[in-house]
């Protein structure tokens, strides 16, 4: 048996739509694999009742097929599906790393990124690497095509997850089809600011660079109470706030000592909007962890 823990991730980070991603210290999925004649899947944990166990409809089934590595795969979900925290990406990344080890395929983590991306396409309908790249490689990632750049950043974060479900496909439907030149220039400037902040471990620059006028406003409309939650987080000390991935998760960058107050403020603001929520006080973390011969 091989066991892998893969972290939650936050994609886009506001200004980096389909490009930026970050691994979070928590929460995480745990995937265990054993060799078998055919692939079977068991899912337990947070939101498991909403995840299909048919290998043809599950992210890890696609990964097993891509690696030609049939296995009995057990997924313990710590990341709720349809959360905006890379739930499907974490399972796909964990399965890719575990099956590569189980069958001694000899692939590097970078080699496994597009394979895990194929798995995530089972859910999203398209291959995107902005969740699976940080889930496998850790840190802050910039994915452009098949190329991935990794920055080992150290930025405190709060991820707040309301009890609202938004599918990736639905969230992509509201993304504007085009952008004006002014919007493009603004986004490039913010993305450059955020990247500089990651390279400098500077929460102020990262938060400033999260602001986006194109994709985030459209997705924010799908999240009840988003504007109030954002304002509450900023008032509590957040340096920047944005929708995490496709939502409904909301991500705040901050300084370490402000995490508790920000988490409380975000949960409280969702509560005032009539939405239950939980918050994870975390930071940018490492990629999937392998535990062989468990």
Alpha-carbon gap, residue 184 to 189, rounded angstroms: 9
Per-residue confidence (pLDDT) for residue 269, from 0 to 100: 98
Residue 140 and residue 6 share a domain:
yes
Residues 116-166 have pLDDT tens digits of 999 888 877 778 899 999 999 999 999 998 899 999 999 999 999 999 987
| CATH number of the domain within which 240 lies | 3.30.70.890
Positions marked catalytic: 120, 168
Asked whether residue 134 falls in the same domain as residue 15, the answer is yes
Q: Do residue 161 and residue 124 come from a single domain?
A: no
List, for residues 89-104, the tens digit of each pLDDT value: 999 999 999 999 999 9
Same domain, 139 and 225: no
pLDDT tens sequence across 177-209:
888 999 999 999 999 999 999 999 999 999 999
Is 125 in the same domain as 44? yes
Asked if residue 211 and residue 173 are part of one domain, the reply reads yes
Triad 230, 236, 239: Cα angle to 5°: 65
What is the pLDDT at residue 121? 84
Q: Tell whether 11 and 109 lie within a shared domain.
A: yes
Same domain as 239, residue 209: yes
Q: E strands, the chain, where?
A: 2-11, 20-35, 40-45, 71-77, 140-144, 147-151, 156-162, 240-243, 250-253, 277-283, 289-292
Total number of domains in the chain? 2
146 and 238 together in one domain: no
Instruction: Please give the Cα distance from 112 to 109 (Å, whole number).
Output: 5
Average pLDDT, integer, range 47-67: 95
Neighbouring residues of 78: CB distance < 8 A, sequence distance ≥ 6: 8, 26, 27, 28, 29, 30, 45, 46
73 with 165, same domain: the answer is no
Binding residues: 80-90
Contact present, 150 and 139 (Cβ < 8 Å): yes
Q: What is the CATH number of the domain that holds 29?
A: 3.30.230.10
Parent domain of 241: 156-283
Global confidence as pTM: 0.94
Residues 164 and 110 in one domain: no
Positions at the binding site for ATP: 80-90
């Amino acid at each position: 048996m091989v066991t892998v823990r893969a972290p939650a991730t936050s994609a886009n980070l506001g200004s980096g739509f389909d490009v930026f991603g970050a691994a979070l210290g928590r929460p995480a999925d745990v995937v265990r694999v054993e060799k078998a004649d055919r692939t079977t899947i068991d899912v337990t944990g947070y939101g498991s009742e909403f995840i299909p166990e048919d290998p043809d409809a599950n992210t890890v089934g696609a990964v097993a097929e891509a690696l030609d590595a049939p296995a009995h795969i057990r997924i313990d979900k710590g990341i709720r599906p349809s959360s905006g925290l890379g739930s499907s990406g974490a399972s796909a990344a964990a399965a890719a790393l575990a099956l590569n080890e189980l069958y001694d395929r000899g692939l590097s983590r970078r080699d496994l990124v597009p394979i895990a991306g194929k798995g995530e396409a089972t859910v999203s309908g398209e291959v995107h690497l902005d969740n699976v790249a940080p889930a496998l490689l850790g840190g802050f990632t910039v994915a452009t095509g098949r190329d991935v750049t990794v920055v080992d950043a150290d930025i405190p974060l709060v991820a707040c997850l309301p009890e609202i479900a938004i599918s990736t496909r639905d969230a992509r439907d509201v993304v504007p089809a085009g952008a004006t030149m002014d919007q493009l220039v603004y986004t490039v400037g913010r993305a450059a600011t955020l990247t500089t902040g990651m390279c400098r471990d500077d929460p102020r620059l990262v938060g400033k660079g999260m602001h986006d006028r194109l994709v985030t406003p459209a997705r924010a409309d799908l999240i009840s109470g988003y504007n109030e939650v954002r304002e509450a987080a900023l008032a509590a000390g957040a340096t920047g706030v944005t929708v995490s991935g496709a939502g409904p998760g909301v991500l705040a960058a901050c300084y370490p000592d402000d995490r508790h107050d920000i988490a409380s403020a975000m949960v409280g603001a969702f509560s005032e909007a009539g939405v239950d929520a939980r918050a994870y006080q975390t930071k940018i973390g490492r990629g999937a962890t392998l535990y062989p011969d468990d």
